[in-house]
Structure 1
Amino acid sequence: MLKPMKRVVHFDFHTMPRIDDFGARFDAEKFAERLQESHVAYINMFARCNVGFSYYPTKVGFPYDGLSGNMLGDTVRACHARGIGVIGYIHVGLHHELLRLRLDYARMEKDGTVYNYRAGANWFRQPCFFGPYVEHVLEEVKEVLALGVDGLFLDGISPRDCACPRCLAEMKKRGMDIESDADISAFAAWAARDFAEKIRALVPEDKYLYFKGLPLRVARDLNTHGEIACLASNMGYDFFPAQAALARGLYRGRLYMNGRFGYDWGDFGGYKGRASVENDFFEALMNGCGTTLGDHLHPAEICEAGIYRDIAEIYGEMERIEKWTDNADYLAEIALLTHDGTAGASHEGAARILSELKYTYNILSVEDDFSGYPLVVLPDNITVDGTLKAKLAAYLSKGGRVLSSGASGLTPEKDGFAHPAWDFIYEGEDKLEVNYYRMNFETAGLAPMRYEAYERAGLVKASDGDTVYADHITTYFNRDYDGSHWYFYTPPRNETGYASALVNRAGNVAHVAFPVFRAFRKTLSRGHRALVGKLLSVLLSEKLIRADRLPITSRATVLQGDAYKLLCLKVTYPENRGEGGSVEEHTVLPAGREVSVKGEYTTATCLSCGQMLPISVKDGYTTVTLPEITGYAIICLE
């Protein structure tokens, strides 16, 4: 049985040639001792890096010049002696040492280019995933498994178009068009998946295995768990929540890999600080994920003592509360649907709105079972074919509720709404790019004005009995050039009789006529959040968490245990600075705010301080009066 993977550290070790003191101050015993002191339970440890060097005695690879002994094997033994698991890391998507000698192993562009060193960085030369390179990696995998690792982390196995003679010949055998970019991409996707299947066949079932690069859904039956790598400092803080929601629908075990770096991977001299690492780790925990700290080991040394003093305190606290968190999982009340099994801009926008409004959610494929969710959201472009129509019909007939936006809910041909529950009249897409809306309800704290949609709208009219919550407003002209002026300034003009947001007569389907979630991801319009929030309150009157007195910047989720719930609250939030975001210090929430959780409980205990908190129970909700919170808190409801 696999020991639960948690409190992980991932060590990159991509090492260039000409490190003349390579390994001089590396000691596996001292390294493992520091990890043990830091409450680390697992590490991803380098077997072969993306430059192409191996860090163990290899018969098929290229040991680093200056390697003496067996860095990986010694680390496995030292860590195992202290109860720390070791996952062997191989970067299968890059191997410069091999490819500089064997160009016939390389991926080829359609113009015959094999590598372009002017591109710089790492990716100027890549292997082909169909041919002899596959066998080379399989032999590496066998060698690494023989060292007693607890699993494998295979990096960079993302599908990449290749037009080498081997790939084109195989495509012809399969009747594929070698001139078609779509066919080339389809073959590349097959080759990457086939490569992963060959590796999977070599790895015993009692070992962890993760293929980074294959989409989470594509590798669902190959991976032992799901991982989300996100350096929020340069990828943004909207990426992880949506990806976590997607992973929750696919994997029982999930990890969030952040980075200790100030900016990006390979940043030896960067450390974003304890508060920032804590923010990421708590975001992982409250989203139902374990934690991995991304690090890069110095080629001559062990890990940085100063950083791991912080990690010791953070992971020590996480270990202390694992008796509650290990057996609790994220509780979602809303299912966001996706057509292709990925989470894009619309899902990121939806995730942010829902998080700000304190709703909980998962992202599911249209193929998945969403019948257990009180509310389903079709964000922006989820058209409805016959199969999905039947599923929605069954869902609605049993009391389900649906919110759609943009082209969602329409037929694939976009000639009208696919299901009669959408009893609205669709008259096609607005010819004007710019449109506005006015909300027909009280918006406390928000100016009652005409808000721009920031996306082209559909022209939707209400039928008898429907309720319109926002009216469509046109502009004077389109944003275009007439030979004299570029019409950039496009003010609102008048109402058109169309609706921008409405609810059907049955009260179980709501629709926003423009892609509100993609627009929110782009603009963070407060009007968009208020509009969606109103529709959600109509469709889902008994939400899981009621937290009107918490800031929009805070986050709240619930984890379900066997006989308890964990209310997770995070009040720290990132600041946009320079080219990315950062967390310098924790935000403090004053004592006295109240949060209500659906369900009736007798006690509420703050896990970080052990304090019993005042509660009241009314109308099926338990209201907790919060203490002062610095950064984050978990409250156990029993």
Structure 2
Amino acid sequence: MSDGQPWRKVILDFNNSPEVHGVGAGFDPAEFAATLRAAHVEAVVVVAKDVQGNCYFPSARPGPATWDLLRGQVEACRAANLRVQALYPFAWDEHLAQRHPEWLVMRRDRRTGLPPVGEVPDVSQLCLSHPGLLEVALTHTGEILRQCAVDGMWFDMVNPGPLSVAECYCARCLAEHVRSIRPEVQVTCNTLAVLGSADRVSTVDTIEIEGMATGVWGYGYLPVHARYARTLGRPVYGMPGRFATQWGDYGGLKHPLQLRTELAGIVANGLRCDIGDDPGPALRLDPAVYATIGEAYAEIERIQPYLEGAVPVTEAAILADGPPLTQFGVDGGGAEDGWLADQLAEGLDAFVEGFVRGAGVAGAARLLMERQLQFDIVDLTADFERYRLLVLPELLTVDAGLAARLNRYLDAGGAVLASHGALRVGESAELWPAGLSGRYHGEAEFERPYTSISGPILGDDQRYAGYDFALYEGCARWTVGPGVTVHARLTEPTADPVHLTGYAVPPSGVVSEYATAVQAPGLGALAFPLGRSYLNHGYWIYRELTARLLDGLLPEPLVRTTAPASAEVTLTHQPRTATGPERWIVHLVNHSPLRAPRGRVEFLEDPIPLRDIEIALAADLAVTRAAEVRCGVELPVRRTGDRWCVTVPETRVAATVVFEG
């Protein structure tokens, strides 16, 4: 059943200095609407006020400049049957920051976001709870709603900083004010896909995840945050950009295949699409930009009947906790090299904790994605007992109450994969799983210890026998009780000072009593910080150890494919309706980047096609038809054991494989 929300949206970023000439000079209402319609756009977000403080509507509280452009854009969209929202950046207004420095957020070191005199501002963050700021925002919102027939308000900058960790929530005030004026108007707040969002998501109608993969976010950001946001009970939008790099990248335009791949990943996770654009001061939509957007959105429109009402099907969950507004890791694989370093240089302990905690979640998510398991990310308020498998990242805090709950979950037949600190009860030496009978004996003495793995690796029993694999992010020292299967043990480095020459300290070759990878009924445990280690280093041996444990914990996953680990594989379910059959839909996204220098943008411009990919689906459905609906190809379906199987002949960008019954 459709919820009526559009699938194909565009958001127009539009920021101008008062000194800019020709603002709005290229705006033609008929051309504006026709360009959007030709690009298969269903809805658009237009700027009511920009980050400089300029208003695009007549206001009793004007900024440095006012251009009456909002009304014309809204009327053009309404005439073309396009939905339209008004964008309002709440806590970013350089005009107010200059005139009311007492409204600014003050950091722990007593600095504000104002730059030295004569330098260009970056983000002069205003305090969300300041009465003066709130009064201006409420006045402006009321003026917008009374002057323009917008379908909704789209609030940006409603969190207290780009990545800061704080406890300041103002979305509720804005939502109540909007609905007091026009109850039917939709409210959207940007970036609610962070911890702590569950307690305020009831104030909004939709959630947006701003995550331009070619900017600072990287390609790991959006699929991870999507898996958390989609559990919050609201429609979710993923926001890529048409830019080659980042917002305001004039002249930078994504390759059509790159944008198509990004949108395929968004809808594969059950999200809708909202492409970011910036038309420049003249406010004329560029034909080349909208030809690129149109090609990508035509493909989404073609498969939209298989997206409406379809919900993600999951078998596992990563359990996350942390301070409010914790994000689940940022790749930093984009265009702004010094951005993360600048954040860390502020010395905010809470920020560092939140970022490292989030990195553990992001690394665990990457491992599950590469194993093609179907999973959500949930917090401690969730009913996590409904999942077949729980993954506990290394910094999850397990108190006595949660430990008891997890043991009950294991006793009821659930499975747990946990690493490092998530096995301890608080700060004690006790390991909570009853089946381990384990103790914590502190951390390994050296920053880089090693582990020796028993049994076959990569199908070879002998090649790696006695080899000591590096644990780049350290390791705990555990002992476990009898009856527990130990897959690997800790090898401490040599303490010989001759080797302390600036290189890593080599292993001693002496295998200790401490276990680093163990398995008990329903439980897989790793003594090193698995998520952060894999996110930061991508070392294949961590993936191999995880695969060994997962094969025992979840031997019959929902979907099996022969696609490589670089492909993203997700599963959604569309219930039977009066007009259509029940469907299980496997989404296959071919993430095939060109080679790029380390830490730089990944370009998805010449993908290597995937050929003859086998898909085996475990679904309780008598399948009568299978098809790859992006290309309109019927697929012969066969029953193998308890699975429905098809072969997809070729996938260049993405495949949407539908099983009907």
* TM-score, normalization by structure 2: 0.86
**8 Å contact from structure 1 (residues 559, 566) kept in 2:** yes
Secondary structure of residue in 1 paired with 2:572: strand
Q: 2:569 aligns with which of 520, 542, 556?
A: 556
The residue type equivalent to 2:573 in the other structure is Q
Distance in 2 of aligned mates of 1:196 and 1:128: 9
Q: Are 2:656 and 1:634 equivalent residues in the alignment?
A: yes
Deviation of the 1:155 alpha carbon:
1.2
The residue type equivalent to 2:636 in the other structure is P
Secondary structure of residue in 2 paired with 1:367: coil
The residue type equivalent to 1:75 in the other structure is Q
When residues 107 and 455 of structure 1 are mapped into structure 2, their CA distance, relative to the original with a 3 A threshold, is: closer
Q: Are 2:87 and 1:74 equivalent residues in the alignment?
A: no
When residues 10 and 540 of structure 1 are mapped into structure 2, their CA distance, relative to the original with a 3 A threshold, is: same
Q: Are 2:276 and 1:299 equivalent residues in the alignment?
A: no
The residue type equivalent to 1:606 in the other structure is E
When residues 403 and 484 of structure 1 are mapped into structure 2, their CA distance, relative to the original with a 3 A threshold, is: closer
**8 Å contact from structure 1 (residues 588, 628) kept in 2:** no
Q: 1:610 aligns with which of 632, 648, 652?
A: 632
Residue 573 of structure 1 corresponds to 592
Q: Are 2:383 and 1:361 equivalent residues in the alignment?
A: no
- Deviation digits for residues 469-516 of structure 1, max 9, x if unmatched? 2222221139xx999855634335221122111112xx1111001111
Distance in 1 of aligned mates of 2:128 and 2:33: 36
Distance in 1 of aligned mates of 2:649 and 2:491: 46
Instruction: Give matches, 1:83-94, under 5 Å.
Output: 83-94=81-92
Distance in 2 of aligned mates of 1:112 and 1:239: 29
When residues 216 and 347 of structure 1 are mapped into structure 2, their CA distance, relative to the original with a 3 A threshold, is: closer
**8 Å contact from structure 2 (residues 125, 160) kept in 1:** no
Residue 625 of structure 1 corresponds to 647
Secondary structure of residue in 1 paired with 2:612: coil
**8 Å contact from structure 1 (residues 329, 560) kept in 2:** yes
Secondary structure of residue in 2 paired with 1:399: coil
Deviation of the 1:113 alpha carbon:
5.5
When residues 538 and 38 of structure 1 are mapped into structure 2, their CA distance, relative to the original with a 3 A threshold, is: same
Q: 2:359 aligns with which of 335, 338, 345?
A: 345
Q: 2:513 aligns with which of 476, 480, 497?
A: 497
Question: Which stretch of structure 1 is more off in the superposition, 268-277 or 97-106?
Answer: 97-106
Secondary structure of residue in 1 paired with 2:240: strand
Residue 336 of structure 2 corresponds to none
Distance in 2 of aligned mates of 1:216 and 1:225: 16
Deviation of the 1:368 alpha carbon:
1.1
Q: 1:211 aligns with which of 176, 182, 189?
A: 189
- Deviation digits for residues 301-346 of structure 1, max 9, x if unmatched? 3111011112112212211211111121111111100112642111
Deviation of the 1:584 alpha carbon:
4.1
**8 Å contact from structure 2 (residues 399, 426) kept in 1:** yes
Residue 22 of structure 2 corresponds to 21
Secondary structure of residue in 2 paired with 1:582: coil
In structure 2, list runs of 5 or more residues that go unmatched. 329-357, 576-581
**8 Å contact from structure 2 (residues 243, 252) kept in 1:** yes
Percent of matched pairs sharing the same residue:
27
Distance in 1 of aligned mates of 2:246 and 2:422: 37
The residue type equivalent to 1:597 in the other structure is L
Question: Which stretch of structure 1 is more off in the superposition, 126-135 or 196-205?
Answer: 126-135
Instruction: Give matches, 1:411-426, under 5 Å.
Output: 411-426=425-440
* TM-score, normalization by structure 1: 0.89
Residue 394 of structure 1 corresponds to 408
When residues 483 and 633 of structure 1 are mapped into structure 2, their CA distance, relative to the original with a 3 A threshold, is: closer
**8 Å contact from structure 1 (residues 385, 418) kept in 2:** no
Deviation of the 1:51 alpha carbon:
0.4
Instruction: Give matches, 1:9-408, under 5 Å.
Output: 9-62=10-63, 64=65, 67=67, 70-108=68-106, 111=110, 115-117=114-116, 120-124=120-124, 126=126, 129-146=129-146, 147-159=148-160, 189=167, 192-193=168-169, 195-204=170-179, 205-212=183-190, 215=194, 217-218=196-197, 219-234=200-215, 235-340=217-322, 342=326, 343=328, 344-408=358-422
Secondary structure of residue in 2 paired with 1:321: helix
The residue type equivalent to 2:115 in the other structure is N
Question: Which stretch of structure 1 is more off in the superposition, 110-119 or 422-431?
Answer: 110-119
Question: Which stretch of structure 1 is more off in the superposition, 438-447 or 565-574?
Answer: 438-447
**8 Å contact from structure 2 (residues 436, 481) kept in 1:** no
Residue 521 of structure 1 corresponds to 535
Secondary structure of residue in 2 paired with 1:278: helix
Secondary structure of residue in 2 paired with 1:444: coil
Distance in 2 of aligned mates of 1:477 and 1:574: 42
When residues 591 and 128 of structure 1 are mapped into structure 2, their CA distance, relative to the original with a 3 A threshold, is: closer
Distance in 1 of aligned mates of 2:283 and 2:491: 64
Distance in 2 of aligned mates of 1:606 and 1:624: 10
Distance in 2 of aligned mates of 1:207 and 1:345: 37
**8 Å contact from structure 1 (residues 55, 63) kept in 2:** no
Distance in 2 of aligned mates of 1:561 and 1:13: 38
When residues 19 and 530 of structure 1 are mapped into structure 2, their CA distance, relative to the original with a 3 A threshold, is: same
Q: 1:466 aligns with which of 462, 469, 484?
A: 484
When residues 155 and 410 of structure 1 are mapped into structure 2, their CA distance, relative to the original with a 3 A threshold, is: same
Question: Which stretch of structure 1 is more off in the superposition, 617-626 or 424-433?
Answer: 424-433
Distance in 1 of aligned mates of 2:546 and 2:98: 54
- Deviation digits for residues 82-115 of structure 1, max 9, x if unmatched? 2211111011121122333344444445647672
The number of residues matched between the two structures is 603
**8 Å contact from structure 1 (residues 2, 208) kept in 2:** no
**8 Å contact from structure 1 (residues 196, 211) kept in 2:** yes
Deviation of the 1:350 alpha carbon:
0.9
When residues 308 and 445 of structure 1 are mapped into structure 2, their CA distance, relative to the original with a 3 A threshold, is: farther
Residue 175 of structure 1 corresponds to none
Distance in 1 of aligned mates of 2:604 and 2:360: 29
